[in-house]
């Protein structure tokens, strides 16, 4: 036991605090002598902490030599150790045996180390908290929560802020998810909720909504086989609309009608498997718009049971070269009774042989 304590006190402490002594010895000596340094503000809390705990000086310069002597069997040296320890540790009494005195001193020392580490964590926590508040105020909520999440385990102030910001962020995310669900953008809502659940303190409310959405899925229209098409095809490469937005050939079709009697058409078999759909329509950018400036088009979404006698489910009229990108209102669309889905684009104003190119993008069928 004595050998272990000797090694622990003499080597571990010396190694652990050697650098600290070199940095802080001037501060500590001045503190002990009651002198004032020219730059008081430069004395860190850690320096003042060491100054208030002369245990380290005592151990290094008074106790270790005695420990070594006692370890060699000098009983008088053991008594000196206990006496020296009793002067420097409140928990050590002169009547204690050497083993008991060393154990008590070690516990006191461990407490001092714990207090010092807590002090360092407190200082670091203040900086994290300041940065997190700045990030939150600038709208970087995810960044603020991520930094507080890490620091909350060691800083009480950060833990409190983490809980408060988590609650506010949860309300914010749930409101956003509700909007997406109302638009039947279920996959997007799930993505938002899953990301938020990883950075808030208590994701229970977020997980409840995720559970509700568990039975809802979206299927990209591009994953279905095209049953038939006429002048309605996937765009080549990347295209832009008249508002400057870019579209990918992975999920965007363009319909190019010739006239009111010759629409562009594309159809899919859906077999009554889907409840609704969402997506976007826009007008393809054309470098020379002079020809089409007075043209108009109409997009129809149709459904049928047997592939004939299709019925208009939803339509967008008066599409011009100035029409802004428009979301398809999924809450107005019910596909439950239809086996076939069809999109048509008509040229309703203009001359035969040309028409406004209408983009159909990011269409997803909703399965509940």
Residues 190, 158 contacting (CB under 8 angstroms): no
Residues 282, 245 contacting (CB under 8 angstroms): yes
C-alpha separations of 348 from 146, 232, 297 in Å: 54, 17, 5
Tell me where in the chain the CATH 2.60.120.1060 domain(s) lie.
221-367
C-alpha separations of 191 from 184, 186, 206, 250 in Å: 13, 9, 11, 20
Q: At what angle do helices 141-151 and 156-182 cross, to 10 degrees?
A: 140
The domain over range 221-367 is classified in CATH as 2.60.120.1060: yes
Q: How far apart (Å, rounded) are the C-alpha atoms in residues 355 and 30?
A: 89
How does DSSP assign 116-148, residue by residue?
HHHHHHHHHHHHHHHHHHHHHHTT-HHHHHHHH
pLDDT at 7: 36
pLDDT at 79: 78
C-alpha separations of 336 from 174, 270, 275, 331, 333 in Å: 28, 10, 5, 13, 9
pLDDT at 65: 52
Residue identified by tokens 């000797």 is 6
Main-chain phi, psi angles of 296, to 5 degrees: -140, 155
**Cα 160-161-163 angle, rounded to 5 deg:** 65
Q: How far apart (Å, rounded) are the C-alpha atoms in residues 269 and 303?
A: 10
Q: Which one, of 350, 362, 214, lies nearest residue 290 by Cα?
A: 350
Residues contacting 221, CB < 8 A, separation 6+: 251, 268, 277, 279, 363, 364, 365
Question: What is the value of pTM for the model shown?
Answer: 0.54
Find the radius of gyration of the CA atoms of the chain. Answer: 38
Give the model confidence (pLDDT) of 86-141 as tens digits. Answer: 777 777 788 888 788 778 777 766 766 665 565 566 677 788 888 889 999 999 99
pLDDT at 333: 94
pLDDT at 77: 61
Residue ranges in the chain whose pLDDT is less than 70: 1-77, 108-109, 111-122
């Amino acid at each position: 036991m004595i050998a272990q304590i000797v090694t622990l006190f003499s080597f571990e402490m010396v190694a652990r605090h050697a650098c600290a002594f070199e940095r802080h010895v001037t501060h500590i000596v001045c503190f002990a002598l009651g002198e004032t340094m020219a730059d008081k503000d430069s004395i860190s809390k850690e320096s003042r902490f060491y100054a208030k705990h002369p245990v380290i000086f005592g151990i290094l310069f008074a106790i270790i030599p005695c420990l070594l002597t006692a370890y060699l069997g000098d009983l008088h040296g053991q008594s000196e150790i206990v006496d020296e320890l009793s002067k420097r540790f409140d928990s050590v009494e002169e009547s204690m045996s050497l083993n008991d005195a060393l154990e008590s001193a070690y516990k006191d020392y461990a407490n001092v180390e714990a207090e010092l580490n807590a002090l360092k964590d407190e200082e670091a926590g203040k900086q994290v908290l300041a940065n997190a508040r700045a990030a939150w105020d600038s709208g970087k909520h995810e960044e603020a929560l991520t930094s507080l999440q890490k620091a909350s385990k060691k800083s009480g102030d950060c833990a409190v802020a983490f809980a408060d910001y988590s609650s506010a962020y949860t309300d914010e995310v749930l409101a956003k998810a509700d909007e997406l669900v109302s638009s039947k953008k279920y996959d997007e809502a799930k993505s938002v909720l899953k990301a938020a659940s990883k950075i808030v303190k208590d994701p229970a409310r977020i997980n409840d909504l995720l559970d509700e959405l568990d039975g809802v899925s979206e299927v990209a229209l591009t994953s279905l086989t095209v049953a038939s098409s006429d002048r309605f095809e996937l765009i080549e490469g990347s295209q832009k609309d008249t508002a400057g937005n870019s579209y990918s050939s992975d999920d965007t079709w363009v319909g190019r009608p010739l006239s009111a009697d010759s629409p562009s058409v594309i159809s899919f078999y859906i077999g009554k498997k889907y409840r609704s759909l969402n997506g976007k329509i826009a007008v393809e950018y054309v470098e020379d718009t002079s020809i089409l400036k007075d043209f108009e088009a109409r997009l129809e979404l149709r459904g049928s049971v047997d592939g004939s006698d299709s019925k208009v489910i939803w339509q967008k009229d008066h599409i011009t070269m100035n029409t802004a990108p428009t979301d398809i209102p999924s809450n107005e669309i019910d596909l439950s009774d239809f086996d076939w889905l069809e999109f048509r684009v008509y040229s309703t104003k203009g001359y035969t042989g040309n028409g406004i190119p209408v983009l159909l993008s990011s269409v997803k069928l909703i399965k509940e």
